[in-house]
Structure 1
């Protein structure tokens, strides 16, 4: 099963850019998932188990490394990667 997840991360820190960048960089390092970023959110696409296992690991690592932050996520049970679905 394929999945799409839209994630917005809100670090509770004044210097928040490195916290967000680190999280996105770690997602980009995972083979088998596609990551698309923009100024509002990060979208992750791929196999359900791989995406969910990756998010479980990386959200926990983010909290352990950088402290408090808020993650807002939206999930859909379909791969909506624009690279695979250029017309929606």
Structure 2
């Protein structure tokens, strides 16, 4: 089953940029289709493969933060080719 996942990492600390950049670079290097915008990172592919990757990377990101949030949205389809028609 293919999914689309939107991730927003929000460290609640002064040195937040380094943590966000490190997390995004690991997601980029995963080999999945990855799209980014200023507010979130989206990753697209097979559910089991993505969740296996995210399980480790989210845990590591949370361990590296003093305090923070990880927002996750999961859609049951690959929306990587979505283009608005309006």
TM-score by length of 2: 0.88
d(CA) in 2 for partners of 1:86, 1:10: 26
Task: Say what the alpha-carbon RMSD is for the aligned residues.
Answer: 1.4
d(CA) in 1 for partners of 2:64, 2:51: 20
Aligned length: 84
d(CA) in 2 for partners of 1:50, 1:38: 23
TM-score by length of 1: 0.86
Report the alpha carbon displacement of residue 28 of structure 1 after superposing the two structures with TM: 0.9
Judge which range, 11-20 or 62-71, deviates more: 62-71
Report the alpha carbon displacement of residue 61 of structure 1 after superposing the two structures with TM: 1.0
Unmatched 5+ stretches in structure 2: none
Report the alpha carbon displacement of residue 86 of structure 1 after superposing the two structures with TM: 5.1
Corresponding residue for 1:60?
A: 59
Task: Provide runs of 4+ in structure 1 moved above 4 Å.
Answer: none
d(CA) in 1 for partners of 2:58, 2:82: 29
